Amino acid sequence: MIRIFQDYQTLSEMAAQAIVTIGLQCLEDRGKFELVLSGGSTPKQAYSLLGRQWEHKRRLWENTQVYWSDERCVLPDDSRSNFMMARQSFLDTVRIPADNIHRIHGEADDPHVEAKCYEVEFPPRPDLLLLGIGTDGHTASLFPHSTALEEQTRKFLAVQTPAEPPSRITITPKGIACASEIMVLVSGTNKANAVQQVFAETGNILETPARIVHNAIWLMDKEAAQKITKTILIET
């Protein structure tokens, strides 16, 4: 499903609303909400909006378990840390209990060992997985031509990437497939080519890893969607 919004602010508001709606439904159905956060900068505004009037959603946040799709191999207080971004954007505001925050320890001496530990901690079927997409079509820290794209058994792997910082711990396609719902947030003209490649009739995940989640819920602004054909929109 693809939903296109006028601008980044509207996209962020709708994303925050959707996250809360899904969370409240999970709380009603199962008494908890297992949320997997994306990194990068796109979700920052949506995360901040989650903190708005948080007192009215106290029961939700008290029963939310937070995980990450990937993490850079840096200290948790490093400005490049995905955990740090989420903590500053909303985790501190909504006062999610510390025991409910399951960060990937990017600072671990051996990222391969941490990836193994994290996939044990990761829930078998998280309720909602948030993802972004890079200008090259990567998602999480699954970059084009990464060997992690062909991983069949592991849910998390330590990888070397062409990005900064290069060392990452990332969810794999098998880990992504565990999620009940997947929501991809995309904003900006610079993502239009990558988005076009995700929904193009021909292509492959080695070239465009985000094709793994082409069937997910895509929330994007008009700039990011500018190269999507009408046919694709009608079909979705």
Binding of residue 134 to ligand 6PG (CB under 6 A): yes
> Does residue 111 touch ligand 6PG according to CB under 6 A?
no
Task: Kindly state the number of chain residues that form the binding site for ligand 6PG, as judged by CB under 6 A.
Answer: 14
Cβ 33 to ligand 6PG, closest distance in Å? Answer: 21
C-beta closer to ligand 6PG: residue 70 or 151: 70
Cβ 178 vs Cβ 155: under 8 Å: yes
> Can you tell me which of 42, 64, 161, 172 binds ligand 6PG, judged by CB under 6 A?
42
> Exactly one of 34, 70, 114, 151 binds ligand 6PG (CB under 6 A); which one?
70
Among 46-54, 56-64, 135-143, 173-181, the segment contacting ligand 6PG (CB under 6 A): 135-143
**By CB under 6 A, is residue 221 in contact with ligand 6PG?**
no
- Interface residue with ligand 6PG, options 12, 81, 139, 146 (CB under 6 A): 139
Residue 22, SS3? helix
In what order do the strands lie in the sheet containing 217-221?
Answer: 2-5, 217-221, 181-186, 128-131, 33-37, 64-68
Segment interacting with ligand 6PG (CB under 6 A) among 88-96, 101-109, 131-139, 200-208: 131-139
AA letter at 199: F
Which of 12, 38, 63, 89 touches ligand 6PG (CB under 6 A)? 38
Residues of span 141-200 touching ligand 6PG by CB under 6 A:
141
Pairwise CA distance, residues 8 & 42, whole Å: 9
How far, in Å, are 124, 149, 188, 209 from residue 172 at the CA level? 14, 7, 25, 10
**Residue among 159, 179, 178, 183 at smallest CA distance from 170:** 159
